Amino acid sequence: MQSRSGPLALAFSGGLDTSYCVPRLAEDGWTVHTVYVDTGGSSPEERAAIRRQAHALGAASHQEIDARGLVYDRFVRFLVQGNVLRGEVYPLSVAAERTQQALSVVDAARGLGARAVAHGSTGAGNDQVRFDVALRVLAPELEIVTPIRDLGLTREQAIAYLERLGLPVPASAGAYSVNRGLWGTTWGGGWTHDTWAGPPAELLEPPAEAPPPREIVLGWQRGLPVSLDGEALGGPALVSRLGDLCHAYGIGRNIHVGETALGIKGRIGFEAGAALLLIGAHRELEKLVLTRWQAFWKDQLARFYGDRLHEGQYFDPSLRDIEALITSSQARVSGDTRVRLSPGRFQVVGTRSPHSMMDASVATYGEENHLWTGAEARAFARVSAVPSLLAARAAAVDHR
């Protein structure tokens, strides 16, 4: 690695890879300033431990940036309103947070007068793309330094390096990479590399001490959750409260296999109860208030939106256009959803909205109709069959 010098801002999580980066970059001549960007999922005690780790490794300074509100306002709102699930399963628990971390680290780097920004991503994952794209777009004047990627370092080599220097190895260092944030927790490594291997017990079964089943009511305004059981809450606080509830029931645990930004397949385990519950409840409320084609086109574009965000392309201008359409579509997505929580699962058991399009004064499905007559319904069904009738006749000619 080529030697450099001057101030450098390191995106720091306190994990093994970024712990390795602090002394390694210092060896190369950099003055290393660590920056921890809190995107949710960490306790005060855990943040204090991260701070102690940075100082023990020799960081020149350590900053903590609370970015939970930014993650919610900039990303999570559109993931909920768009019902975004990667591969119909995974709620993008990491992609949004990594992009926000890059945004915040750039701000910190400029405040420090840094010449470079570093991150601990490997050369085989999505995070390197998310960081690098954001850094190139936002701060092309800053050098990007990536020791783990450049050296092709293994976890065992990183541990051995820290032990040789007598520096603290993070307690979580080992076979797994764990990412906790506002929108969920993911596990990578170990069993996830074998597509036939099952997950550990904590991802298989709901907790034995799970509470008894209960119902909660979520209040919604313009496609966003605003209250839980009648208590008004800001977005990050509501997601956090709901996440704790879901965790107690073992809700939101699953496995995802899909495409990575590099074109290879990847597999992760995850727990994202709040994300899955909010998306599920939001989708049911939308069914009540949106027209068929509103929902259809929004879902097509939202899926593209999620794919581009997942692959680190948040800054593509087309995503701003899609955000505008999603926002417009949510004008009447207000009301309440009633959700039943049980060990290992949730079910949306009720929805209501002042904008409901399920109007008994028009018709009751399968029973009564008030806006048209039986004869009109018969004529409608007859006309509706015309395209398929014509196609069937044309096919019959082909087989003569």
| Same structural domain, 215 and 129 | no
Q: DSSP string of 6-63?
A: EEEEEE--SSHHHHHHHHHHHHTTEEEEEEEEE-S---HHHHHHHHHHHHHTT-SEEE
Among 153, 176, 199, the domain boundary falls at: 176
The pLDDT of 123-128, averaged and rounded, is: 83
The CATH code of the domain that includes 227 is 3.90.1260.10
pLDDT at 39 over 70: yes
Q: What value does the mean pLDDT take over residues 9-31? A: 95
In this structure, is residue 359 part of a structural domain? no
Confidence check: pLDDT of 282 > 80: yes
Does residue 86 form part of some domain? no
Whether 361 is in a domain gets the answer no
Mark whether 118 and 243 lie in a shared domain: no
For residue 125, what pLDDT band results from cuts at 50, 70 and 90? confident
Whether 172 and 56 map to the same domain: the answer is yes
Q: Are the beta carbons of 34 and 59 closer than 8 angstroms?
A: yes
Q: Which domain holds residue 115?
A: 6-79+92-176
**87 falls within a domain:** no
Residue 93 has phi, psi (to 5 degrees) of -70, -20
- Residue 2: the pLDDT is 44
362 belongs to a structural domain:
no
Tell whether 239 and 373 lie within a shared domain: no
Q: Is 307 a domain residue?
A: yes
Q: What is the mean pLDDT of residues 359-367?
A: 63
Residue 123 confidence (pLDDT): 81
Question: What pLDDT sits at residue 376?
Answer: 85
Q: What is the mean pLDDT of residues 8-24?
A: 95
Distance CA 21, CA 8 (A): 11
**Same domain as 134, residue 113:** yes
Is residue 84 domain-resident? Answer: no
Same domain, 232 and 150: no
User: Residue 366: which residues within 8 A CB-CB, separation 6 or more?
Assistant: none
pLDDT tens digits along 209-248: 999 999 999 999 999 999 999 999 999 999 999 999 999 9
Q: Are residues 223 and 131 in the same domain?
A: no
CB contact at 8 A, 13 and 39? no
Residue 110's domain is classified under what CATH number? 3.40.50.620
pLDDT at 374: 84
Note whether 302 and 210 are same-domain residues: yes
Q: Name the residue with higher pLDDT: 274 or 399.
A: 274
Residues 314 and 301: their CA atoms lie apart, in Å, by 14
Question: What pLDDT does residue 3 have?
Answer: 47
- Give 33: exposed, middle or buried? Use CB within 10 Å, 0-12, 13-18, 19+: buried
Together in a domain, 260 and 336: yes
The pLDDT, as a whole number, for residue 366 is: 59
Domain count, the chain: 3
Q: Residue 364 — very low, low, confident or very high, per pLDDT cuts 50/70/90?
A: low
Domain boundary at 131, 161, 176, which?
Answer: 176
In the predicted structure, residue 30 carries a pLDDT above the cut 80: yes
In the prediction, which pLDDT does 1 show?
44
* Mean pLDDT, the chain, integer: 91
pLDDT at 361: 67
Three-class secondary structure of residue 126 per DSSP: coil
Same domain, yes or no: 245 and 218: yes
User: Kindly report the CA angle at 105 between 100 and 107, in degrees rounded to 5?
Assistant: 100
Q: Percent of the chain, pLDDT > 70? A: 95
Residues 169 and 222 both lie in one domain? no
pLDDT digits (tens, 9 = 90+) for 325-356: 999 999 999 999 999 999 999 999 999 999 99
**pLDDT tens sequence across 287-340:** 999 999 999 999 999 999 999 999 999 999 999 999 999 999 999 999 999 999
Residues 155, 218: one domain?
A: no
Distance CA 98, CA 396 (A): 57
Q: How far apart are the first and last CA of the chain?
A: 75
331/344 Cα distance (integer angstroms): 33
Among the candidates 121, 141, 176, a domain finishes at 176
Which value, to the nearest 10 degrees, does the dihedral of the CA atoms of residues 229, 235, 236, 238 take?
Answer: 10
**358 falls within a domain:** no
When comparing pLDDT for 229 and 175, which is higher? 229
pLDDT of residue 236: 96
Average pLDDT over residues 189-212: 85
